[in-house]
Amino acid sequence: MSQTNDFQLNDPRIVNGWAFFDWANSAFALVITAAIFPGYYVAVTDDIVHVFGIEMSNSSLYAYAISGSYFLIALFSPLLSGIADYGGRRKFFLKFFTVMGSIACLSLYFFKGMDQLAVGTVGFMIAMIGFAGGLVFYNAFLPVIVTEDQYDRVSARGFSFGYIGSVILLVSNLAIIIFYDTFGFPDKGAATRFAFLTVGLWWIGFALIPFKRLPSDEKQKATPDLLKRGAQELRKVWQAVKYQKDTRNFLFSFFCYSAGVQTVLFLAATFAEKELKFGTSELIGVVLILQLVAILGAVSFARLSEWRGNKAALVSILLIWVAICLLGYFVQAKWQFYGIAASVGLVMGGVQSLSRSTYSKLIPEGTKDPTSYFSFYDVLEKVAIIIGTFSFGFVEQLTGSMRVSLLVLGSFFIVGLLILLTVRIRRGEGMRG
């Protein structure tokens, strides 16, 4: 095995340590952003809130909090990418964002209602920034610790660790919330806030494993203009892809439907709590269903892709997403929402994995720096989240209806679908694309 910087590539101890970072931070992604915090936020705040003199619904404010977080993340993405690629301080910044995110997550314990609205909103935003910022440097470690032939296998191991760890913590939290009196809590609210503590402690606690095992930062001369270099890499990719019709059109399509996908994943719980009066334990049940069905969906659409090609699989997925948004507009009963959640699970994993693999086929063969192409792809997804979540919140603020916001999300999927139909995917698919 290759030797570099006093550690061996493909070292199982280092690889497993890297994967444990996914185990650590995926708890935030599942428990806070998807299962517990969104419904809690809407439940403990007034239906109408005033922020800087502007009147809006609490769910609109929550959507804006996500938009604001990702705006800051997107703004600094070129700098973070420059540091990850050229700065040699991956471990320092991995620790920095992890500590920042986990402490912000711990602060959510003190969010009890309107009197602590700023704590809940700002704490959530900082935790989101810590989570997304940490991922930049977590991903940047992969090509440092393993050889290229191991990328897919090791990446899948990280995903598996993250899924298992987050589900274990979520189920534990579900038990504490349902049987709150058995565990000595005065009410479900206190048990729910305790769940926020467990996520923060889980995140920073298990992150100590990768902090210990991952290779130390490189000792090198300071690299100036990291922001400029990161921005130049993104600009260079755009200058290349804008003349590549299929790659460009796919990115436009991806941008449109990602705005819908990510917004549904972030705001489904607030919709369920506000429109259908779901309780915290019911929301956790919905998320568990979604996670389990997602496994089946990812496998099924991978098979469909092998049989009919990436484009056919993605078109099928986007048609289902359009149907989800339309049905969401009309849903009235809780059992109907469970069905919609299962449908989201079916297409959730498939759309993300197939989008990335499709894009990889559209990157020009022989490209010397595919990492820059994926940095561009990741920034595009972050901007899509800003547009999607802001649109959802703004439309609700204008109309007073989250259901109308869902229809707007449906239009993102339709536009993405129409653009995707113009894309030809040749490499590895013959002429099926």
Looking at residue 77, its pLDDT comes to 79
Same topology, domains 10-213 and 243-433? Answer is yes
Contacting residues for 351 by C-beta, under 8 A, at least 6 apart? 257, 261, 314, 317, 318, 321
Looking at residue 324, its pLDDT comes to 95
Domain ranges in the chain are 10-213, 243-433
Q: In the CATH hierarchy, which top-level class contains the domain 10-213?
A: mainly alpha
Q: In this predicted model, what pLDDT tens digit does every residue of 352-386 receive, in sequence order? A: 778 877 887 887 776 766 667 777 888 899 999 99
- At the topology level, CATH places domain 243-433 in Growth Hormone; Chain: A; (1.20.1250)
For the chain, list residues with pLDDT below 70. 1-5, 84-88, 152, 219-228, 366, 368-371, 426-433
Looking at residue 433, its pLDDT comes to 43
Q: Which two tokens stand for residue 380?
A: 């595009």
